[in-house]
A and B are shown apart, each in its own frame.
Chain A
Amino acid sequence: MSATDLTIKPTSEALLKTSGNAGVRPPRNYAQFIRWMLLFGGGILMVMPIVYMLSTSFKFPFEVYNLKLIPEEPTLENYQLVLEDGRFFNWFTNSLVIAVLTTVSNVFFDSMVGYALCKFKFPGRYIVFIAILSTLMIPTEMLVIPWYLMSTKLGWLDTYWGIMFPGMMTAFGVFLMKQFFETVPDDFLEAARIDGLNEFQIWWTVAMPLVKPALAALAIFVFLGNWTAFIWPLIVTNSQELYTLPVGLTTFSVEQQVEWELIMTGAALSTLPTLVVFLIFQRFIIRGVVMAGLKG
C-alpha cells in the first residue's frame, strides 16, 4: 500500500500538525515501516542458514570459518567429493524410500481413520479421537525408548521397517484429515450409498477426491518430517548402509575434524527432493494450511 492512497483520519491529522513538517508521513506508516522491518528481520533470520549452507558448500576447508558470504576461491570440489562418495547415494536412496513409503502410508491410513472418526457415528468415537490427539502431547524423545525396546524384541533393529514404523501413521495427520472431512457434506456420501457403493468405495471415490488439498498438505508435512528425521533413524540403525541422509551426513564429522564444507554440500543436495515435492504440491499446500488453520 502506498503512502498516498491512505486516507488520513481526523485523529492522525492532529498528530501530523504537531510534527510541523509537511514531509513527514502519517504515523500509520511508521507502524507499517516497523512491521516491514520486523518481517524483513525475520526473513533474514530464516534465510541466513540456507545462504551460509550454500556458501560453505562452495568453499575450501581453510575458508570455512571465514563468515564472508562470497567465497574467495569458489570451488565445486565438494560437490564432486560428495557425489563420488558412494555412501551419499546410498543414504539418499534410503531417505527417499523411507520418506515416500511413510508419506503414502500416512496419506492412506490417516485419512481412513480421520474419515471414520468424522463420518461414522459409533459409540466411543469421541474417546478414541481424544486418545489419538493426546499422543500429540508426548515428545519424540520420550517415545524413543519404548520404540527401541519394541524394535529389539521384534528384531526390527537396523531394518527399513524399524526406521519407518513409528511414523507410518500420525495423530496430527488423523486430526488434520478428520477436520477436513467435516467439510464434505454427508449428502455426497449418502447419495453414493444409495447408488450402491460400499463404505470403502465411498471413501475412496467420493470423499478422498474432495479433500485433495488436505492430502497434499499432509503429504508435504509427512515427507518433510521424515526426510529430515534424525534422532530415531540414528538410534535404530547400526550399519552405515541403512543410514538416512541426515544421519549419514554427520559421519563427515566423526573423523579428526568436522568437515563442514562436505556436510553443507550434502545438506544442500538433500534439499533438492523437498524442493521438488514442494513445487509439485505448492498450489495445494497454502490452501491446505489455511484451511487447517481455520478448522483447527
Chain B
Amino acid sequence: MATVSIKNLVKSYGKTEVLHGINLDVADGEFVVLVGPSGCGKSTTLRMIAGLEDITSGEIHIGGELVNHREPKERNIAMVFQNYAIYPHMSVRKNIGFGLRTSKASKAEKAARIDEVAELLSMTDLLDRRPNQLSGGQRQRVAIGRAMVRDPSAFLFDEPLSNLDAQLRTQMRLEIKKLHQRVGNTIIFVTHDQVEAMTMADRIVIMKDGHIQQVGTPYDVFHKPTNKFVAQFIGAPSMNMIEGSLADGIVTLEGGLQIPIDTSSTHRGPVTLGLRPDDLLVSSQDGQFEGQVNVLEPLGSETLVYVSVAGKELIAKASGRTPPVLGSTIKLNAAPENMHLFDSATGEALQ
C-alpha cells in the first residue's frame, strides 16, 4: 500500500510532447481512474508510473520514494493489461505464480500464497487449466490474480475490461470494486469508458490532449464540471450545449429565447448553456423550451426524446411508461440550479 505522487510529468516522443506537465496525488488505498478519449495520454501516464516508458521530465514518487530511475520490478507495482497478458503455455497456477518467480519465499510459502489468491478470486478449481480453456472473464481474473500475488503497493490497470462483452464488463467492474474494498490497495485504473470511471472510482482524473482537465469525485465531475469538455465527456447521452450570450443573469440564446439563470458570474458576452438530458424534463405546463419531437429512443425505464428547439436538437429524458408522441410539440423545463454555464471562448465553467 502506498501513495503515488506525480509532479510535472512530461513525456515527449522526439519533438512531439504528448504529456504536458501532469500533477496528481493518489492517496494510500485510493481507487483513481484516469479517463479520456484515445490519445489523451492516460495510458502513457500509467506506463510511466509502471516504468515501462522513460520519463522526459518531472517526478514520480511511489510510497514517498522517487522512482524515476528505478526498473519496473523495483517499483513494487503490479499491472493488468488490456489483453490480459497471461501466458498461453502455462497453467493458471503457473501464471499466477509467475510474479513470485523472483521472490525469495520458499516453495511452500509460494504455493500457499497462490492458493490464497485463487481463493480470493474464487478460481481454486481452475488452477490446473490452461488459459485457452478459460473464458474472457476468467482470463482477466487470472491476470488480476497474478498482479495480486506479490502484494504490490499499487495496482495499475490498463483498460482491462475493454476486451470483454458488455455483460461481463459490468460483472468484472463490480468484482474489481469489491476486491478493492476488501483488499484496500491503491489502484490506478485507465479506461476510455466514462461509465467504468463513474462506477468504480473514488476520484476520476479526466484527461485530454496530454492535460488533466479535472480531478474530482464522480459527483464533482458530473455535477460540477470545470469545463465544456468534461461536461460533455461525462454522462450519457452527453450534455446539450446551446450557444448564447450572458448579460445581467439572463442568457439570450441564438433563437432569441431568453433564459434567466442562477449565476453569480459578472461575465458578459458569448456563453454556452449546458443542460443534461436528465435535467431537461418533459413538462405538460410550463417550460423554457418548446419544440417538436423528432426521434424517440425507448430504453425501458426511460425514453430519450430528441426535440428540435429553434433549429437546434436537444436531448431530453421522458418517462419510459408514458413517452411523448412522435411529431408532437412538447415543452421542456430545466431548473435554473441544474443549468451549467461555460465561457464560449475558453470553455471554462462560469459559477
Contact = CB atoms under 8 A, between A and B. Distances in A.
Contact of A195 (B82, B83, B89, B99): B99
Interface in A75-91: none
B73 A193 contact: yes
A183 B52 CA distance: 20
Q: Interface of chain A, helix or strand or loop or mixed?
A: helix
B69 to A, nearest CB: 15
A194 B83 contact: no
A196 B87 contact: no
A197 B87 contact: no
Given A185-B83, A187-B81, A191-B81, A196 B89 contact: no
Contacts of B102: 195-197
Contact of A187 (B71, B83, B146): B83
Contacts of B50: 190, 194
B72 interface: yes
Nearest to A185: B83
Contacts of A192: 98
B101 A191 contact: no
B81 A209 contact: no
B85 A190 contact: yes
Given A190-B52, A193-B72, A196-B102, A209 B79 contact: no
B89 A210 contact: yes
Interface string A182-215: 0001011011111111000000001001100000
B314 interface: no
Residues of A in contact with B, size category: 10 to 19
Contacts of B150: 195
B77 A194 contact: yes
B237 interface: no
Contacts of B51: 194
Contacts of A194: 50-52, 72-73, 77-79
B336 interface: no
Nearest to B100: A195
Contact of A190 (B71, B81, B89): B81
B320 interface: no
B99 A185 contact: no
B85 A187 contact: yes
A66 to B, nearest CB: 55
Contacts of B98: 192, 195
Interface residues of B, number: 23
A197 B83 contact: no
A197 B102 CA distance: 7
Residue of B50, B88, B101 with most chain A CB atoms under a 10 A cut-off: B101
B31 to A, nearest CB: 20
A134 B181 CA distance: 58
Given A187-B81, A190-B81, A195 B73 contact: yes
Contacts of B52: 190, 193-194
A283 B102 CA distance: 34
Nearest to B84: A187
Given A187-B81, A194-B79, A195-B102, A209 B87 contact: yes
A187, A195, A209 — which one has the most chain B CB atoms within 10 A of its CB? A195
Interface in A155-204: 185, 187-188, 190-197
B85 A188 contact: yes
Residue from the set A187, A190, A193, A194 with the largest chain B CB neighbour count within 10 Å? A194
B85 A185 contact: yes
Contacts of B99: 195-196
Contacts of B72: 190, 193-194, 196
Interface in B96-124: 98-99, 101-102
Contacts of B88: 210
Interface string A275-289: 000000000000000
Contact of B82 (A187, A193, A196, A209): A187
A188 B79 CA distance: 11
Contacts of B146: 191, 195
A210 B86 CA distance: 12
A209 B130 CA distance: 14
B89 A191 contact: no
A92 B51 CA distance: 53
A190 B46 CA distance: 13
Given A190-B52, A190-B79, A195 B101 contact: yes
Nearest to A190: B52
A216 to B, nearest CB: 14
A206 B73 contact: no
A194 B85 CA distance: 12
A210 B85 CA distance: 12
A204 B80 CA distance: 22
B89 A209 contact: yes
Interface string A57-70: 00000000000000
Nearest to A201: B101
A193 B77 CA distance: 11
9 contacts: A188-B85, A188-B87, A194-B52, A194-B78, A194-B79, A196-B99, A196-B101, A197-B73, A197-B102
Lowest 10 CB-CB distances: which A-B pairs, in order? A196-B73, A196-B102, A191-B85, A187-B85, A209-B89, A187-B81, A194-B72, A195-B99, A188-B85, A193-B72
Given A190-B79, A190-B81, A206-B87, 10 more contacts: A185-B85, A188-B85, A191-B81, A192-B98, A194-B51, A194-B78, A196-B73, A196-B102, A197-B102, A210-B87
